Structure 1
Amino acid sequence: MKLAILGAGAMGLTAAAVATSRGHEAVLWSPSGKSTTGLAEKGFVTSTGAIEGNWPVKFGNSIDETLANADAVLLAVDANGHRGVMEAAAPHMKSGVPFIVSAAHSLSGLYLAQLLAMRGTDAPVVSWNTSAGTAHRTANGAVDIRVVRSRIEASVTPASASADAMAMCRALFPAHFEERASALEIGLLANCNPVFHVPVCLANIARIENGEHWAPYEQTTPAAGRLMEALDGERIAIANAYGFDIHSVNEHFHRSFKTPLASMDVMNATLHAVGRGPKGPMSVQHRYLMQDIPYGLVFAAAVGRIAAVPTPVHDATILLASTMLDFDFAGANTILEALDLGEMSRNELTAFANSGHRPTMDLRTGTSQ
């Protein structure tokens, strides 16, 4: 099968390596073009770590060329790029071709579903709670894959297309796919990373601003771990208010990295002791802050307000980060801006997330920022 991958960073390269290693054809497209410079001549991507090899890959010069004759499409850009890429892709999508959002932060899959419906394109949107793996791009076209996900949770919009769309996911990737009924449940599940990334980054903001080398797992002290678990408790309370039973960030680490369940500081120390873990950001523009606060914490707080769930730790963390970094994180989520959920009730949001249909919706399309 042909998989069109929109995004050529660490997650796009990982998806290409995994799918190609399973005998599929991958075509990579970089929205900026920078991540694929010089790669067409090579004709392959290189992976080390969990999967090692040189994998033959094609590179699209344009989004319409990349999507042509694709059996499935996978979005692999940071959350702040979802809206722009979705708006670029929607005119070229064909009915029946699944579009996988990896990972579906802030209900971005529902935004794409609305764009497709407006065009009369009957293509299923598959929202994943995570990516195909954890990895670090070492150069253009080269990626060090730490973990290939063994388990991914996903929802399909519309639900009537779920059987074929989930079968496509299982054919392309080795993970065990667990289907969830609601895109909102997936959106909250995708928020595991922000409740880890944001506290440890704010606790180490001087290291980041000074461009120092540091290790997030090593610096997850008991205090940082308590903030992570407090944010996570609110995330789980929000999910419960909508009738969802979601796993904790501790369980997410246990599932992803096979480390024994414990407090976050202990789990991170265990992983660091055996050489596991990502490198710490060396710029405040890193996605751990610029993506995870607006598309993770701000999103969770917004759907919490709709369900009348107090989120004082989320609100305080967003305010603290906005003050420290002199940036309006609360106003930076372009997906929430487009979906305009503020006037919805809990029941209306639940119905919208389950069905993908909101006939009275005044979708705020246009040029994304």
Structure 2
Amino acid sequence: MPGPSLRITEVASRRDLRRFIDLPYALYAGHPLWVPPLRGEVRRQLTTHPFHRHAETRCFLAERNGRAVGRVAAIIDRRYNEFHETCAGAFGYFECAEDPDAARALLAAACEALRAGGATTVFGPASPSSNGEFGLLIEGFERMPAVMMPYHREHYRGFVEDFGFAKGKDLLAYEITQERLDARTLDLFERLRARASDITVRPVDTRRFAGEVARMRAVYNAAWERNWGFVPMTDEEFDDEAAAMKRITDPRVMFIAEHAGAPVGIALSVPDVNPALKAAGGRLFPFGALRFARRARTITRLRTILLGVVRGYRDRGLDGILVGETIRRGLAAGYTATECSWILEDNRAMCRPLEKLGGVVTKVYRVYERAL
């Protein structure tokens, strides 16, 4: 039970929500690698995002002597449970000061809320799902996270494991740099592409953005359907994410593979704008947008967010073809490195071509699970 100076409260008002959103900015104040998300975007994720049409989320704050020291969300995604035929819940948005009692009380509150909602198991962190920020950083604390990837304090791992959570799956972030690039492997992928002459790999046409999004959505939901932890996005969710991402896209590094006019693979990379987001400080106005724009002009790194091939085409080397195309055209566009994240630790079909290109694992995120 929380001690006399520790109190766990459920977010129930606009003021509570503002404190929930603001907490990480205090916990990470002055941290050289943490990237402050845009507050308005976090608020949207927690309130109006289409995810909430098929999920219930309860948020909790930990207060020590009246000061917020931690937060967590308890999330039950009905779409996930229907897809996996299970009764699972997730914890997400977990942040906590170096206060083991507060962390324990927060996780207990989340688990109790999930039990009350009918969940029998819990996994996480998922903020709010595997389609958002997924996993707890356990290796790579010395590096800035790539865009749309989380960063965590090192003591969080102990908090989660001491509460009884065990490893469910590790998610890997591979880095490929121009300096480490194996040109012979890149040539091999070029030869693979020449042999797959019936498959066309083309850049995304942003002039027909809505139609292109529909083609990418079809591949996404088909290519990832058997992946551990996957939950298909609704059309509304995918369109919402695509619209938000459009603001930072570079069509030179976004590709659709087609066979006889039908989409069979996608490779989507975006400029890693996290250094620009850090410069903005969590707000675009009044001056954050100028700082963002100034820093964004110097970005030479990518994050490869999605790279997938539908069944029936995976034995033709299309994964490697798409990786090679991303590297080749990324270099031509002036990018010198990309982080490919995240990739399941046991997805050797994806890990192998990245390693052959000279890619190395630079970060590891762990998804935990336990029974309720």
Q: TM-score scaled by structure 1?
A: 0.28
Q: Give the helix-richer structure, 1 or 2.
A: 1
Looking at both structures, which has the greater relative contact order when contacts are Cα pairs under 8 Å and sequence separation is at least 6? 2
Larger Rg: 2
